[in-house]
Structure 1
């Protein structure tokens, strides 16, 4: 068993790994080092509750700050790791300190993707990855303000909903022909576009941004989208620079196995920075950006380090909150040959509730559920167990999901 565990990255993944190591019986030292000044906190509320002023820092923290001292976890905030020496098993930091390790966990996360266009380096451009980013954006919103959001993904749409809640105008600019094009079905895209427009959000699709200017955003067709505040949310890239420089195998992130172990047997990687196998989807590899993924891989790494049996594989899942809508997605649609819509996606206001199931033959691969917790939970269970489904029953909302799941 490793005596000294060093964790680089004090986000959801790293903070959870530290707690699990103690929970699983690790008695050696644990050092948790993160670049930000705050203790590990939840990031999903940044674009929702925090932005709208409905949550404070205490509510965001994964655990009270006293937890780390009580459980003998050395928490180093404002600590930037600069190099890993795998042969000597030590990590150098920007302040000149060096931390040795027996086991190293990389939980370095991801960073916002940048656009290579004129004006992309303007200081007024904002992104939404950290608490400091969210504070800056919140200060820029309010009645009489107009927010232009480049990118129609989940973060962009959540920010638009929060902006409207704060009384600001919002325009979403998406290069693809629909919002959520990379991550959701056309049915879901059409639903969220309609709902945002009904809430007063201007949604522009097929709109390519060519420059950021003093007055706003310039599009390829020559239009200038004027705005008081500019937010760019066009995806994220893995923070795998440390791993690459150390000679670890990387692809679209740090390549790990089903126990979150890298190509170096003394180094694990977890969370957004990893390119990982997904057993319930045939072992295909993906880079997943979600809290459930961070938690699952934290369990894998902590279990391996302390010598516990590997945890059971989980079905990947995601969520997004916008207005009074809760979107929950389980599984991955890759390989699906048909879709079944349960409920009416045409109802965008009060009473909105439906689910889109992606099937391959008689197996559910993915479910996208809007205000439909029963469909989400049953679908997630059926994906994990590879349960055959009766398509006629699945499409009929009068048949309970309990009966659908029972076959």
Structure 2
């Protein structure tokens, strides 16, 4: 049998599959139908193939692979495309790495300069503190005052005096500004109210509001005037104790209390700073804690004396609020009852989520009981009067 050889014109496609458009051209005189590979295909039909591929003939010759020229051409095309793509990627990576390297160098240089500036600044501040705060104190005549560090080496003296000053300023920030925040209770012939009422300003008496047009404004809570007049002396000694700064709190309190119901004002310097919170230390009030009630809306502010506290929800600025009216009746009831230790009463109301609602419910029940007792007493009086009226004529009749 004569060999039937097939010659392929190869066209390389794109993508992961290599698409080859093969055109068969029969060089045998027997025609295209005698070629076993293309018996089912028409002439010039594209055939998709995958690399690597082999071409076979119908002869028994020893040639088993495709044409080396064609295969070499395909390999060269593939290698050329792969090398071009690799060169492009290498170029892009080289460009990116060069740009990244420049950015990294600039950022590292800026970081070094920043550390250098901070190092020089802190060193200068440390030297200034050591020289200024560590120097021995002098009297009005310029003589050195002998202290507990005077007999130590010079450098140690300066260092220990500087630490003493640092601890002093830390204590100023952390502790209240004085041991007794309030003066001693008044004595005869002056009148001292039996109870002390400590109030928070922000969230209890006023609500802060901020807008772009007006800035910060403080809205007055409904019922403030009624509340202050009800708890003012002779029932309570009213103290405003807030974490606000003095230049913020004093103008607000001046407008809030024109009648002078508030006896004392304590601001942020009177608080104790612990764990990021300004805490109201009632031990520094110079008052008997059995007669002190603090009203607040922040539990962290009164966590050192929670038994003396009445916690209310923070007022959000709504105009239909009447909590201060209920609070006034609650406090007035405690004061008029002459309670020996207010903490015992407050311990009972701490069981409820809303102490004022619980107090109102107890007052309602008490009022119902009083009305019921009045009805019973009235019936007893009517029965006694009827018995007396029926007994008197009979007695007169017998006599």
Of the two structures, which has the highest relative contact order with CA contacts closer than 8 Å and spacing of 6 or more?
1
**TM-score, length-normalised on structure 2?**
0.23
**TM-score, length-normalised on structure 1?**
0.23
Larger Rg: 2
Higher helix share: 2
